[in-house]
Amino acid sequence: MFITDETLRKAGACYSQRQTFRAFFPNGIEITQGLCVVHAFDFDFNWAGRALLSGDNRVCFVLGIQELYRDKTSELVALVGVGNWDEYLEAEREAADKFALAVAELFGKLALKEGV
C-alpha cells in the first residue's frame, strides 16, 4: 500500500496527522510493518486501519483491535484491586505503549496485503 498526503486527505485524516505525514514522507511512502512500528507513536494507526484498509483486511483489523483492547483492559483490571495507584498508573502507561505498538504492527501487516 502506497500512501500519500492526498490518500490521507481523501480518507478524511485530520490536519495535524497530515502535517506530520508530510514532514516524514513528503513524496509518500510504501507501507511496511517495520515502518509502522518505528512510527507507532507518530501516527494514529487505529484511525488508519479503519479508514485506509478495505474489505476483509478492515474486518481483521477491527477484530484484532478488539482482542488487543481486551488484553490491555484485563491486565489493568487485575491491578485495580492491588490499591497502589502509582503502580497502576505506570502499568497503564506501559499498556498504552504496548497497545500503540501492537496496533501499528497490525496495520502494517494488513497494509501489505492491501497492496497485493
**Are 79 and 91 in contact, with CB atoms under 8 Å apart?**
yes
Which residue segment(s) compose the domain that 83 sits in? 2-114
Q: How many angstroms separate the most distant Cα atoms in the chain? A: 50
What pTM was estimated for this model as a whole? 0.84
Q: So what's the pLDDT on residue 106?
A: 94
Q: Is the pLDDT of residue 85 over 60?
A: yes
Share of the chain above pLDDT 70, in %: 95
Mean pLDDT of 14-22: 96
Q: So what's the pLDDT on residue 82?
A: 63
Total domains in the fold of the chain: 1
**Are 72 and 99 in contact, with CB atoms under 8 Å apart?**
yes
Q: Is the pLDDT of residue 75 over 90?
A: no
Q: Is the pLDDT of residue 79 over 80?
A: no
Mean pLDDT of 64-82: 78
User: Half-sphere exposure of 41 toward its Cβ, with a 13 Å CA cutoff?
Assistant: 5
